[in-house]
Structure 1
Amino acid sequence: MTTTPATANRALTDASDTTRVIGDVSNTLGKVFSYAAQDTSATEQAAKELLGGRAATQYAALFGELRQRAADQKLSLTTHVVRAGVTRLTHDRAELLVFLDQRAQRDKGAATTAAAQLSVTAQLDDGHWQITDIRAR
């Protein structure tokens, strides 16, 4: 049997693992990109536990700037994964395209919703898919 790039991509042949990586990545994105103005500590803790590699470094820099602004502006953010697809999957690495809806609200003002699109790389770590890279598209 000849192995081709398509057959080597488990995203095309392994529905169970594909579903699992989508679930892990979607849950992580919802946790690390959602916060309440009065308490960002849960979001920061989730990021420390669920992100690795370049994603952890990127997030720490971004959230360091955002933490004070969120408190000052009483800004809350809720992120929901609308759709995610695995474009490449090996036994321990996955690449995904993820579409998000983000709902932001300042104090008691009207909420605004925006869509976002991310390319995400995840690594299987101790039975859990950990996000290691995030790129806006």
Structure 2
Amino acid sequence: MSTGEEVKAVHLPAPRSSPENDEPEPEPRRGARTPRWLVPAVVAAVLALALGGAGLLFRVGELTNSPAAGNRALTDTEATTRVIGDVSSALGKVFSYAPTNTGATRQSARELLAGKAARQYGELFGQVEKRAAEQKLTLTTHVVRAGVTRLTDRGAHLLVFLDQVAERRGKPPVTTAAQLSVTAELSDGRWQIVDITSR
């Protein structure tokens, strides 16, 4: 070849592959791949949220079905005030007497006490009547404070603080403080005391 001749480049077409060997071209990447360590962390977070939600629902169910949910002393002011008034009045009547008028006290006890409280009172009041007559003893009971610890449609539990003033003829009065746990039941529209425990 002489140096004077021009060299022409020949461009050959690229070989075509057969249809059987055709492979789809990979799609272009649209973003960065999620790191492998992140997948377990996301799954753990979702599980924690699900378990936390289930636990919260369980606690709500427990509170709804707990005894506290049925305690009207926490929600019903009118009913609470009524039972406190009825029980306080009853205690004042059955624990107050004069040496010449114990019959009125006994009659009040028949109307205002029931169950265990009525039985205990009946057993003890005979001794009280005898002592009141012998010692010319007058006892006056005042409820100082009372609170309802539990209240349902049919029953109530109360904590009662009271003062009792005992007077004997010719002697100065003596005041004694007492604390009682009282159980009452609603019967025929009125509260009756069914149990009294000294605290």
Q: Please give the range of the TM-score, normalised by the shorter of the 2 chains.
A: over 0.9
Q: Which has the larger radius of gyration?
A: 2
Aligned mate of 1:28, from 90, 97, 101 = 90
Q: Which structure dedicates a bigger proportion of its chain to strand?
A: 1
Which amino acid in structure 2 is aligned with residue 59 of structure 1?
Answer: Y
Cα deviation digits, residues 96-136 of structure 1 (max 9, x gap): 00000000011131000000000000000111000000000
Match of residue 4 from structure 1: 66
TM-superposed deviation, 1:38 = 1.5
Q: Is 1:44 matched with 2:81?
A: no
1:26 & 1:72 partners in 2: Cα distance?
A: 28
Contact map agreement 1:7 1:13 (CA 8 A) in 2: no
Match of residue 77 from structure 1: 139
2:113 & 2:160 partners in 1: Cα distance?
A: 16
What's the Cα RMSD here? 0.9
Which amino acid in structure 2 is aligned with residue 24 of structure 1?
Answer: D
Aligned mate of 1:97, from 149, 154, 159 = 159
TM-superposed deviation, 1:5 = 2.3
TM-superposed deviation, 1:64 = 1.1
The number of residue pairs the alignment matches comes to: 137
2:97 & 2:113 partners in 1: Cα distance?
A: 16
Instruction: Give the gaps of 5 or more residues in structure 2.
Output: 1-60
Between 33-42 and 2-11, report the one with greater CA deviation: 2-11
Which SS does the other structure have where 1:108 is aligned? Answer: coil
The one of the two structures with greater contact order (alpha-carbon pairs below 8 A, sep at least 6) is 1
Match of residue 25 from structure 2: none
Instruction: Give the gaps of 5 or more residues in structure 1.
Output: none
Scaled by the length of structure 1, the TM-score of the pair is: 0.97
